[in-house]
Structure 1
């Protein structure tokens, strides 16, 4: 059995145990992070021991060089696991910056999740919002008292706007319009989910884009708007 096979076997077994015990946070009574370090030390010790054995048959310089390379590889792999949360947050922030409008989700040390939006090219905050299990693009509007759906989006969501009663008058970017009050069973943006949200559907052609209004936003624990960034916290 080669040295590579032994080391990869140790790492593979350690990784399997970490994955199986991820939710519990402990493996064989040891915190997962500590167990990960233990697996690393075990792999390094194995590399060192097999290196000593092989050095008796091969050039010591070549053995040390290979040993150093594998130690570096092991450290990189284990570090990636130990700092996986930080790397995931960095990746989410990077993608959110490169793709404006994509909701990036971050989790702090206390397990609290925060949704971060970046402005799109038109200078507004827009993001996909899940309504009753279907996704529609919405503009975040703190000036709107309720979630407002365009006639077209209401059709997409299967709300049958033709059968609604348009009894309310509202002001839109396209002038005054009539709207039908409705209650949405579920509205979600990232991990933030709300049920029974008061909303309205506007007449056909009166609203260019659906609005994520205060009937949803006011339920949040935290909402902070910066120059190019909007933070939402459940």
Structure 2
């Protein structure tokens, strides 16, 4: 091994390049015209041949050759494990990110290619996060009891909806009691990679709503949503 550092780096480059290509093309299912599983076997085989060739180039006793082969076998197994358990590693990273930054909408991908957005419950026990409305960030609280997205008067102003020219004629119930709201249509609403266009929403009158709400007219159109004890999972 010490006498053949070039072979070591060549084999490492083969494994690293193969793993990188597999991770890059895992959505398409093919790499360089081969199924990802076939390509993974090919990369492993090439690396193994490199190991065997390096063993013959090592001068000395059989024990040195066996030691070199075992080291290479461990390296190959490590790279193979990284690829096989890539989704589990990604899921663990997603959970850590969501746990360390409550309220951050984190995307993760399942083994079948399904993508989901995970929101961790905040300190106050609510699912609060940031969404995009008409390209602008808006802090919202997820409210499954709200039929429509509801914007505070201040957020509506910031989004350029001009509340002063809206008709506040729709009676609504808020945490502060009964209030009036105006119905508007939002060009685009997105959370992570999930986006909907031409979405109806309410704009509450001034002072009626302290924080905007993400209602069921957005959540209910998704493939599914699941509310666990500490996290909300949105799938599209």
Give the TM-score category using the shorter length: 0.7 to 0.9
Measured after TM superposition, the shift of residue 119 of structure 1 is 1.4
- Return the alpha-carbon distance in structure 1 between the equivalents of residues 61 and 162 of structure 2: 78
Unaligned runs of 5+ in 1: none
Unaligned runs of 5+ in 2: none
SS of 2:119's equivalent? strand
Aligned to 1:46: 50
Aligned to 2:224: 222
Aligned to 1:195: 197
1:33 lines up with 2:37 in the alignment: yes
- Return the alpha-carbon distance in structure 2 between the equivalents of residues 196 and 230 of structure 1: 24
Aligned to 1:128: 130
- Comparing 167-176 with 203-212, greater Cα deviation is found at 167-176
- Return the alpha-carbon distance in structure 1 between the equivalents of residues 138 and 195 of structure 2: 15
- Return the alpha-carbon distance in structure 2 between the equivalents of residues 49 and 197 of structure 1: 63
Distance 1:118 1:10, change over 3 A: closer
Is the CA contact 1:150–1:202 (under 8 Å) kept in the aligned structure 2?
yes
SS of 1:176's equivalent? strand
Aligned to 1:14: 18
- Return the alpha-carbon distance in structure 2 between the equivalents of residues 80 and 113 of structure 1: 20
Is the CA contact 1:33–1:82 (under 8 Å) kept in the aligned structure 2?
no
- Return the alpha-carbon distance in structure 1 between the equivalents of residues 111 and 26 of structure 2: 16
Aligned to 2:7: 3
CA RMSD of aligned residues (A): 2.6
Distance 1:203 1:219, change over 3 A: same
- Return the alpha-carbon distance in structure 2 between the equivalents of residues 47 and 23 of structure 1: 30
Deviations 1:70-117 (A, max 9, x none): 332232223223432332122112222332222233433433323232
Measured after TM superposition, the shift of residue 124 of structure 1 is 1.0
1:186 lines up with 2:160 in the alignment: no
Equivalent of residue 151 in structure 1, options 143, 147, 153: 153
Aligned to 2:234: 232
Aligned to 1:110: 112
- Comparing 42-51 with 166-175, greater Cα deviation is found at 166-175
- Comparing 211-220 with 160-169, greater Cα deviation is found at 160-169
The alignment's TM-score, normalised by the length of structure 1, stands at: 0.84
Measured after TM superposition, the shift of residue 160 of structure 1 is 2.7
Query: How many residues are aligned here?
Result: 232
SS of 1:86's equivalent? helix
Equivalent of residue 100 in structure 1, options 80, 99, 102: 102
Measured after TM superposition, the shift of residue 199 of structure 1 is 0.3
- Return the alpha-carbon distance in structure 2 between the equivalents of residues 152 and 226 of structure 1: 31
Measured after TM superposition, the shift of residue 180 of structure 1 is 1.8
Is the CA contact 2:184–2:202 (under 8 Å) kept in the aligned structure 1?
yes
SS of 2:208's equivalent? coil
